[in-house]
Amino acid sequence: MPQLQRLHLDHAPALLEFERRNRAYFTASIPDRGDHYFAHFDARHAALLAEQAAGVCHFHVLVEDGEVLGRVNLVDVADGSAELGYRIAERAAGRGLATAGVREVCALAATEYGLTGLRASTTLDNAASRAVLARTGFTPCGETELSGRPGLRFERSLADEAGRRRP
């Protein structure tokens, strides 16, 4: 089973390979990152690490035998909450990795990062993502639009995780 690891500099080559290999797969259900992302990946990776060091984001990768199989991220951390985002490699889809990764990041959000709530969004046609959010305690809270596609917003309180806080 892949391990959830906090993003660090050494993940860059495997992360870029993950994004390149799965680009078409991801674009079928979520907005594309665009050519600029790939052309300037090293600078983007450095910027993500700087955001993480500043505490405004928390980035994680699911790694198995040195290969990145997924990402589970918390962005726009403010006022005790953050936006959750995740993606799993095509070859690893359907193994429960998204659900396990989201559960683990929810626990970290409460116990390590001091957050009290999370938000997430997905397109209406992304049934797998909606299922992951439902299985991990998120509830729909409104409609949204993601790159011109209709979607749903979700939220989750982390109060149930608060009792697990580490001393």
- pLDDT tens per residue across span 141-165: 999 998 888 999 999 999 887 655 4
- pLDDT tens per residue across span 23-81: 999 888 777 788 889 999 999 999 999 999 999 999 999 999 999 999 999 999 999 99
Angle, helix 12-21 to helix 41-54, in steps of 10 degrees: 120
Contact 110, 165 (CB under 8 A): yes
For the chain, the average pLDDT equals 93
List Cα–Cα distances, 47 to 58, 80, 87, 129, 145, in angstroms: 12, 22, 20, 27, 26
Q: Domains of the chain (ranges plus CATH)? A: 3-162 (3.40.630.30)
Q: Would the pLDDT of 166 be above 60?
A: no
What predicted TM-score, i.e. pTM, was given to this entire model?
A: 0.91
| Maximal CA-CA distance, the chain | 45
Which phi and psi (to 5°) does residue 124 adopt?
Answer: -60, -30
Question: What pLDDT is attached to residue 162?
Answer: 61
